[in-house]
Structure 1
Amino acid sequence: MNDKRLSRRQFLHGAAWAAGATVLVACAPAIAPGAPAESGAATGGEAAAEGQSVSLMNWDEIGGTPFETVINAYSEATGVQVEVQPSPAQDYETRMRTMIAGGTAPDIMRINDDFVRGYTYEKTLLDLTPFLERDGITGEEYFKTVYDFPRQPTGEYTAWSVGCQPTVVFYNKTMFEEAGVPLPPTTWTDENWKFADFLEAAQALTVEGERWGALVYSATGFETVFPVANGEPSGIYSFDGAEFTLANPKSVEAIQWVADLTCVHGVQPEWGVVTRSGAPNQLFAAGQLGMYFNVFGVAPYMRQNATEFVWDIAPSPGEEDQKSIATIVCFCVPIVSQNPDGAWDLLSYMSGPEGAKIFADSGAFIPPLREMATYMVENNGDQPPEHIELVIDALENSVTENFSAYIERARSFYRGELELVYTCQSSAEDALGGIREEVERALAGEI
């Protein structure tokens, strides 16, 4: 492990990892009207007409990823072509809005799960309910959190999930054993795994100048998971999306506790270290973190790069409650789509048994179909994590962020204030309390 360890100075000069290539791949048919699937799970590809085409925009290159594999498999089955249009993540939202407004949007677009409600409010997304009803999809075969996520207060389904990434705690099992620290639980329980237990383990694992015991605040999902665990059931926003409940006492306490891992206890890397591109993953893979809170989607990276020690996953610590947050991998069909039938057929293939099996084999995220998620767990083989079944427990105990139509604006107010907390320049009470009025006005669409 020593030859993989980086000094803090060396680490700060390390390059971020990235991969991908621009591709034009074949894929996705249109659905012939009136041909419902035989089961309640979306399958796709049943009514493709050769020679049709579908366009899809993603915020990452898909070359060499499971998305490319699924698309190629679908193309082989249908003979239908799709142009994949990658768009740089840094200006994706701007380009997405511009293309929809100009009527030039592709048939399918990757959409940030945080912003589905806002786009729906602007009436820019197609309601997929007629496709679900036609194909007899009721949600019984899907994880409830994932299936219910795209459903809007109006009853519309304006997005569709092809997978999800629940949050877990990655931990360096070798480090735990060498330090004589009790291992975290391997099932979804907070017995001997409260906030205090987590902190005690982080302190025992920290070696000043060499490694840190934990990293939590680099994954924004902690803004929901830790306040909910601490007794604020709604997390960042109230269930109706009107109140900024991250400024409530229980949430403030949880945010301060996480910040104090750095500011008081010195067991978490400084904010300036973890905000560098790729830094959190690199730190864990280099053996410089004992515990690392993040979505399960980083597991493939760890399998390739965290090879000098044994690692596993555990639940996030509990307090009054114990939850995960499910980051939804979702796509939408813009209202200006030229081929909505073909768009749905591609999406139903990606989320159905054929596509879900490919995603499951890759281990990149959890398929929305329970059957395929179980398949993924049962076919993990000898590769880490040893207790991969915990991701199913994480999904069963997951929540999603409560949304409003103006969440983008609201977030722009409070995230900057949180950085003052993370950099030890302000208390969570002062920072969040001071911005509460502005955030709630933003949530109401007043500013």
Structure 2
Amino acid sequence: MRTRHITLATGLAALALTSACSQGSATKSTSENGVTTVRYMTFSSAPDHTKDLDTIVAAFEKQNPTIKIQVQAVPYADYATTLQTSIAGGTAPDTFELDQQSLVTYASSGALLDLTDPAAKEPAYNASAYAPANLEAAQYKGKQYALPESFSTVVLIYNKDLFTRAGVPVPTADWTWKDEQAAALKLTDRAKGVWGDYQPISFNEFTKALDQAGGSFFSTDGARATFDSPQGVAAARWLIDKNNKTMPDAAKSASTPDFDTNLFKAGKLAMWHNGNWQFSALKDVPFGWDVAVEPGDTHKASAVFQNSVAVSKATAHSGAAFKWLNYLTASDTTAKTRVDSSWELPPLSDTDKVAGYLTAGKPANRQAVFDSLKNQAAAPVIAKQQQMQDIINNALTNAAAGRTDVAKALSQAATQVTALLK
């Protein structure tokens, strides 16, 4: 499973980035014979959408013959390190992708160009082309440091054939945790290597489950961590109990690349918590499948991920770089390419441009992707993001392994996270 919300820099890395930017390091873009080359680093196109990105690049270059786009597609697992190293070493690409958490880290470190000036100079730029909430999500302290590129949601993907053979009703939008767990128990057949459910025990899944249980990660004033509440304990136990009863071994799945993807494709997994970015990879599986909005406990809450694209503060070609990003995020070519290929969706204000997504092929219930937007789980973001995630993951790992009681593990973690806020 491709784990979303990359954290691209720890506090130490952010310090290195600030140092690199303050030294005025230049990117390695070029301008020769009247043609400017703009480098673009991406993670979301690899491995399933490299041809789709090529389509967008070709259309842009045809429209802008004096600009050439040089794409560097980096595997998701390596993206954070590659980008961080390039910025710190003064070889940053002119433009690159970020998720919302990473945007905060990079903008606060001084690595990103404030887009106010290039936006004002670009005739094709129209801020109203983007959905207001998505445009705001690409801002930092009121300034536009990126353009919203895409959004995706996590849904419950399920194998219809396994449900039919087991005589179990398929998931609906009204399902709760209890419904999911009851179905997963009936669908699990260890002797045949068939598993009822797959949802990792991780920071991202815990924070979402916490929201579904009606809890909050931080206090109202943001001064302390509150995820060790009864709701937090319920969320952690929900994930741990699933792992013990209806999921394959967590250690094995975590150490095997694409374990969950391959398990689902092999017809050995009944339910799978994953995102709409998986749709294109599943279009040819030899069994029926569909999706539903993820079940909740006392509340519905779905993970919604937003990617944005930014310009390096060190670029020598800010105008050309911004022109490329504006086309990449808001052009009709991009919208059509994303919809037709079931890529992550463009966050545009004109919903007619993404309407074709609903009838673009499997799964049948693509409406669940949009329904998931109605109740978005709030992702906690702080300056010391990686330390916070490590604390939560360690606490969950210890609790899952039985080394520490769940309530005690979360209490200790909450104390540690609160200390990071000071």
- CA distance 1:73–1:200, change in 2 (3 Å): same
* The one of 236, 250, 254 aligned to 2:231: 250
Matched, 1:199 2:185: no
Rounded to whole Å, the distance in 2 between the matches of 1:72 and 1:400 is 37
How far is the alpha carbon of 1:292 from its aligned partner? 0.5
Q: State whether structure 2 residue 299 is matched by structure 1 residue 321.
A: yes
Question: How far off its partner does 1:137 sit?
Answer: 4.0
Kindly provide the amino acid, as one letter, of the partner of residue 150 in structure 1: A
Q: Cα deviations across residues 72-122 of structure 1 (Å, max 9, x unaligned)?
A: 222222222122234455554344234323433121022243221111221
**CA deviation digits over 1:113-133, x for unaligned, max 9?**
322111122122122244556
User: How big is the shift at 1:54?
Assistant: 0.9
Kept in 1: contact 2:99–2:305 (CA 8 A): no
Matched, 1:57 2:50: no
**Residue 168 of structure 1 aligns to which amino acid in structure 2?**
V
The 1:222–1:414 alpha-carbon spacing in structure 2 relative to 1, beyond 3 Å, is closer
Map of 1:401 onto structure 2: 379
Distance apart, 1:260 and its partner CA: 0.6
Alpha-carbon distance in structure 2 between the residues aligned to 1:86 and 1:142: 25
SS at match of 2:283: helix
1:101 is matched with which residue: 88, 92, 100? 88
Q: CA contact under 8 A between 2:340 and 2:357: conserved in structure 1? A: no
Which of 214, 223, 242 is matched with 1:231 structurally? 214
Change (3 A) 1:358 1:50: farther
Partner of 1:300: 280
Which amino acid in 2 is paired with 1:120?
Answer: A
Local SS of the residue matching 2:197:
strand
Q: Quote the residue 2:15 is aligned against.
A: none
Answer whether contact 1:145 1:399 (CA < 8 A) is retained: no
Structure 2 vs 1, CA of residues 376 and 433 (structure 1 numbering), >3 Å: closer, same or farther? farther
The alpha-carbon deviation at position 53 of structure 1 amounts to: 2.1
Q: Match for residue 150 of structure 1? A: 138
Of residues 282-291 and 63-72 in structure 1, the stretch that sits farther from structure 2 once superposed is 63-72
Q: For residues 93-242 of structure 1, what are the structure 2 equivalents within 5 Å?
A: 93-130=80-117, 137-139=126-128, 142-143=130-131, 145-152=133-140, 154-185=141-172, 189-190=173-174, 193-209=175-191, 210-217=193-200, 221-232=204-215, 234=216, 236-237=217-218, 242=223
Contact kept in structure 2, 1:284 and 1:290, CA below 8 Å: yes
Work out whether residues 271 and 423 of structure 1, in 8 Å CA contact, stay in contact via their aligned partners in 2: no
* Structure 1 residues 372 and 345: alpha-carbon distance in aligned structure 2, compared to 1, 3 A threshold: farther
Partner of 1:32: none
> Any idea what SS the aligned residue of 1:440 has?
helix
Q: Does residue 83 in structure 1 map to residue 70 in structure 2?
A: yes
Q: How far apart are the structure 2 equivalents of 1:165 and 1:207?
A: 32
Residue aligning to 1:426: 404
Question: How much does 1:443 deviate?
Answer: 3.8
Q: Which residue of 2 aligns with 1:29?
A: none
Alpha-carbon shift at residue 64 of structure 1 (Å): 3.6
Deviation of 1:237 after TM superposition, in Å, equals: 4.7
1:388 aligns with: 366
The structure-2 alpha-carbon separation of the partners of 1:259 and 1:138, relative to structure 1 and needing over 3 Å to count, comes to: same
Q: Deviations over 1:358-392 (max 9, x none)?
A: 11111021221252663332441xx3101112211
Q: TM-score, normalised by structure 2?
A: 0.82
Q: 1:339 maps to which residue?
A: 317
Determine helix, strand or coil for the equivalent of 1:68: helix
Query: 2:250 matched to 1:271?
Result: yes
Matched residues, number: 383
Change (3 A) 1:363 1:441: same
Q: Distance in 2 between matches of 1:301 and 1:219?
A: 23
Change beyond 3 A, Cα 1:148–1:177: farther
Displacement after TM superposition at 1:282 (Å) = 0.9
Q: Is the 8 A contact 1:213 1:268 kept in 2?
A: yes
Alpha-carbon deviation of 1:136? 6.6
Contact 1:409 1:443 in 2 (8 A): no
Partner-residue secondary structure (3-state), 1:289: coil
Of the structure 1 ranges 157-166 and 84-93, higher mean CA displacement relative to structure 2 is found in 84-93
In the TM superposition, residue 168 of structure 1 has moved relative to its aligned partner by 0.3
Same amino acid, percent of matched pairs: 25
8 A contact 2:202–2:393 mirrored in 1: no
Does the 8 A contact of 2:208 with 2:378 survive in 1? no
Q: Distance in 2 between matches of 1:144 and 1:178?
A: 45
The 8 Å contact of residues 304 and 373 in structure 2, kept in 1 or not, is answered as yes
Q: Is the Cα contact below 8 Å between 2:228 and 2:407 reproduced in 1?
A: yes
- Identify the structure with the greater helix proportion: 2
Equivalent residues of 1:107, 1:334 under 8 A apart: yes
Q: Which runs of 5+ in 2 are unaligned?
A: 3-32
* Letter of the 1:368 counterpart: P
Distance 1:65 1:217 in 2: 30
Query: Alignment partner of 1:227: what SS?
Result: helix
How far does residue 208 in structure 1 lie from its aligned partner after superposition? Answer: 2.2
Provide closer, same or farther for how the CA distance between residues 376 and 406 of structure 1 changes in structure 2, counting only shifts above 3 A: farther
Which residue identity lines up with residue 136 of structure 2 in the other structure? Answer: D
Q: 1:145 to 1:313 in 2, by over 3 A?
A: farther
Gaps of 5+ in 1: 1-15, 18-48
Change in CA separation of 1:319 and 1:71 when aligned onto 2, cut-off 3 Å: same
| Residues 396 and 351 of structure 1, relative CA distance in 2, 3 Å threshold | farther
Match of 2:27 in 1: none
TM-score, L = length of structure 1: 0.78
1:435 to 413, 416, 419: 413
The structure-2 alpha-carbon separation of the partners of 1:132 and 1:230, relative to structure 1 and needing over 3 Å to count, comes to farther
